[in-house]
Amino acid sequence: MHLNFIYPNESELQWSILIVLYPFLTGLVAGAFILASLERVFQVAAVKPTYRLALLTALAFLLVAPLPLQLHLGHPERSLEMYLTPHRSSAMAMFGFVYLWYLMVVLLLEIWLDYRRDIVLLSRSSTGFLRVIYKIMTLGSDNISERSLHLDERVGWIITVIGIPSAFLLHGYVGFIFGSIKANPWWNSPLMPVVFIFSAMVSGIAAVMLLYMLLTKLRGFKIDIACVDTIAKYLFYIFIIDFSLEMLDLIHRIYEADESFRSLDFMVHTSLWIPHVIIQILLGTLVPIGILGATQVLPLAEHMRKKLYVIAGSLTMIGIFAMRWNVVIGGQLFSKSLLGYTTYTLHLGSREGLGTAIFLTILPLGILYVLVKLLPPWQHESLSLN
């Protein structure tokens, strides 16, 4: 094999770590929302303590999701053209509309309806600048009669029902952006959108589980173990589906062994060995599935289960990030000639460097902090009408 030729224009990698971050962030949004919908639509009462937190988490990450794309553009000042003159045959052109639909029609509306009673009460009890903020957030709707709240509940339920396929659309669409590129055999797969949806659910559920445990601990309250057990159970089931789909894709590629196989196989055994096989499949998938499986079948003590959930959740997050990395970066490490490879150098301080990526990962947590302060998600502290 002579695997040392790349097309002359391929020496530069096109999509950086910021494009890795984009599906990671939108995945968290979609996954967190699905978790919230478990309680609302599927009546899984045990996960109620995380319902509002999941919605706020989804919002915080959704607000940041377009930033890596914006920072990556060669001409960010022209990005509005995607809304004004979208090219209808482009999957990417639909991003703006899917994003706006999800933000405005699903997430903001659902949060507003769920919090409307609290917002009205807070606008009455708070003072100064906060009062103005809450007044604005009521959008002039301060009727919190029983009939009105009942109506909120009904409409909120309908929006959640609409929101589930919307969450699938949001992240399935991200998978479609990669899966529909026939020029790239590493990406080109009809399974890609489905794998993205399930991995999104895995990462979002794990993130909310970790955030719930962390925030409850920080606030000095007791973690609702029934809630965390239920979340871990769903995480385990969905993780198995996700892993099965990824393995189906892998086995299909190996068995089919088309013209790209030798080139991709070599890449997986060399430059992608650590991020793909070791980090994504072994540490980020098999180990957490094993841990979650153990918590399902072994009679473990509560404190042990909590510790295992934290370990499994953290490894899951690492594994899903590695999956995004291996899709985006891995898909650019080989030449489209299938005769050679290139490398990706991650800079620290550049516009698309590690520093920016870390900032964009932390930023949603900062936004979440503000949202939690403004709209406390803790049900037992919900404001009383008296």
Q: Which residues bind another protein (CB under 8 A)?
A: 1-2, 5-12, 14-15, 69, 72-75, 78-79, 81-82, 85-87, 89-93, 95, 177, 181-184, 262, 332, 335-339
What three-state secondary structure class fits 335? Answer: coil
Minimum distance from residue 78 beta carbon to another protein (Å): 5
Shortest Cβ distance from residue 179 to another protein (Å)?
12
Distance separating alpha carbons of residues 107 and 182, to the nearest angstrom: 33
Q: Smaller CB distance to another protein: residue 100 or 298? A: 100
Contacts (Cβ under 8 Å, ≥6 apart) of 243: 285, 286, 289
Structure-token pair, residue 275? 């991020």
Q: Which is nearer to another protein, 230 or 332 (CB)?
A: 332
Residue 15 CB, shortest distance to another protein, in Å, is: 6
Q: Measured from the CB of residue 85, what is the shortest distance to another protein in angstroms? A: 6
Least separation, in Å, of the C-beta of 69 and another protein? 8
CB of 73 to another protein, least distance (A): 5
| Nearest-angstrom CA–CA distance, 308 and 288 | 9
148 vs 189, which CB is nearer to another protein?
189
348-379 b/e (C-beta count within 10 Å ≥ 16 → b): eeeebbeebbeebbebbeebbeebbeebbbee
Contact 230, 223 (CB under 8 A): no
* Minimum CB distance to another protein smaller for 69 or for 122: 69
**How near is the Cβ of 24 to another protein at its closest, in Å?**
18
Token reading at 220: 């000095």
b/e map of 221-247 (b: 16 or more CB within 10 Å)? eebbeebbbbbbebbbebbbebbebbe
Query: What is the rounded distance in angstroms from the CA atom of residue 21 to the CA atom of residue 66?
Result: 10
For tokens 């007044």, name the residue: 135
Nearer to another protein, 73 or 304 (CB): 73
Q: 73 or 248: whose CB is closer to another protein?
A: 73
H or E element, residue 209:
helix 192-218
Closer residue to another protein (CB): 216 or 356: 356
